[in-house]
Amino acid sequence: MPRAEAGSAKAIGNAIKAKGLGRLRWYCQVCQKQCRDENGFKMHSQSEGHIRAMLVVGENAGRHINDFSQQFQKEFLQLLSRKHGTQQVRANQVYNEYIQDKNHLHMNSTRWVSLTESVKYLGREGIVRAEENEKGWWISWVDNTPKALARQAEAQKRERADMDDEQRQRKQLKEQIERAKVQAEALREQEEAKAQGLKREEGAPKVALSISLGGGKRSPAGDELSGAGRRGGNCRGNEA
């Protein structure tokens, strides 16, 4: 069937169709050709150019599959790190963004048969953090660049320093509490000893204090006693 004339309606229609994404099963990664239907892919597979390319790939199929896998992984991770950073995102969302580029490397040419297998591999290798829940697989990029590792080391250093300061403060606080307990115990013992010294021994005689105030009036009894004393003294003197 002859090719549509340039500028014709059919040629424009074909160009519009070619801009969109085609089905994965009708894409030839070796020739990097997207066919629009099954018949087109069948015709391409029988073409001389495709057969020669497949013979070259067949000579070392393992190396080509490994190269395709590494290219897919590199491009997929570049998109993940550039657009989403280290935030957690659905793996299917990242893949849909990846295949928006018409010239992307298709997964059917890699070692992985599905996106799930690819995500599991990246998780096992520690390249991403992969978690599965009821909504599917979620991934987050692990930043292993030298700058990121330096930032992590600095953060860990600060964390250790903060932890050492906190432990030192706790130790000082504990020592202060112990000293306060010792001082409180010593003070309590002093107060108990002082209180025991002021206690009167049981059965001890009472002590009575008399206070004489000078210049006051003397009682008659006192006067009589004083006179008797004076008389007694006189008698003793007369007898002598």
What are 36-86's pLDDT values in tens digits? 788 888 888 888 888 888 888 888 888 888 998 999 999 999 999 888 988
pLDDT exceeds cutoff 60 at 20? no
Is the pTM here over 0.85, yes or no? no
pLDDT band at 22 (very low <50, low <70, confident <90, very high): low
Q: For residue 90, what are the β-bridge partners? A: 138
Q: In whole angstroms, what is the distance from residue 38 CA to residue 85 CA?
A: 39
**How confident is the model at residue 238, as a pLDDT?**
43
- Map tokens 């049981």 to a residue: 202
From the number of C-beta atoms within 10 Å of its C-beta (0-12, 13-18, 19+), residue 219 rates as exposed
pLDDT in tens, 205-227: 555 555 555 554 554 544 444 45
In percent, how much of the chain has pLDDT > 70? 69
**How confident is the model at residue 139, as a pLDDT?**
92
Among candidate residues 7, 45, 5, the one with its CA nearest the CA of residue 26: 45
pLDDT in tens, 133-175: 888 899 998 887 777 666 666 777 777 777 777 777 888 888 8
